[in-house]
Structure 1
Amino acid sequence: VGQLDPQFAGKVPVTIERYWSKVGSDTGMTMFPVPVDMPSVPAIAPSLYSEAPQAAVIIDNLNMLDAAVADIIAYPNLENRDELLEAAADEFTKDDSNVSDEMTYLLSALRGGIFNQGGPAIGDLGRSERNRSREAMDMIHTMIMSGPQ
C-alpha cells in the first residue's frame, strides 16, 4: 500500500494492531473501545463534513438505514419482514418528515464524541475532544457556513 501512496508507508502493521486491539483479548479487554454510538461523519471525518455537509448527512442516513435493515433481517421469526423492510426504506426516503435542521444534526452527530464512536480512525488522540473548540484542538476550519436563507 505504501508503494502506491507514500502517506500509508509502514502503516499496515499499525492498522492490524489497532484492529486486533478493538477485537479484544480472550478476557474481552480492549485497548481501544468499540463504538457504543453509531459513528457519524462530523465526528470521524470532520474535513468531509466541512467540505460537503449534505454528503455527510446522506452517508449518516445510509448508515442508519443499513443498521435498521440489518436488524430487521437478523431478527428471528418475523412474519412481516417484507413489510418492515419496505417501511424502513419508506421512512428513510421521505423528504417531508423527520427532517432536522443542520445544527440539530450536527449536535446529534457530535454529542457523544469520537471516543463513543470507536475512537479516531488514524493517529492518536490523547484526550477527549468533547466540548473543545477546533482552535483548542489545533484544527483549522476553513468553511464558512451561512444560516438559513
Structure 2
Amino acid sequence: MPWRQAAVFVSVFIPAVSVAEVYRWIDDQGVAHFSDRKPSEGEHEQVELNRPSLVPMRENITRGKRVSAISEQVNRSLQAGNGRQPSGKPEARARERNNARCQGYRQKLERIHQQLRAGYSNDQGNRLRRKRREVSQKLSRQCLLD
C-alpha cells in the first residue's frame, strides 16, 4: 500500500514542478527578480528553463574504483621493482638512464602542476594542460608500463 501512495504522489506532484513557469523583471532600483508568479505590475518576461542534465553516478564510481585498483597495482610494482637484476654493466647503465629520464618526467609534471595552480590565461592553461597530458603519457608508457 505505501508503494501505491508513493506512486500517486510522484505522478501528481513531479509533473507539476516540471511545468512551473518562471518570470523575470527588474524593479525601479534596477534589481532583477525571479518568481514563479507573474508580477502584478510592470514589464516582465517569462524565462524558459532547460531540463537539468543527469549524470549516471554508478558508472563514475565503477570507473573510479577501477582507476584506484590500477594505481595501487602500479604503486606496488614500483615499490617491489620488477624483480630483474641487471646481469651486466650495459643493462645497469640503461636502467640508470631510464630512471633519470623518468625522474625528469616527474619533475616536468610537478612544474606544470605548479604553473596550473599559480593561475593562467585561457590560452596558457590550454597549452599547460596539453603539455601535462603529453608528459603524463610519456611517463606512463616509458616508466610505469615497462
**TM-score in terms of structure 2 length:** 0.22
Pair member with larger Rg: 2
Asked which structure has the greater RCO (Cα within 8 Å, sep 6+), the reply is 1
Q: Which has the higher strand share?
A: 2
**TM-score in terms of structure 1 length:** 0.21
Q: Which has the higher helix share?
A: 2
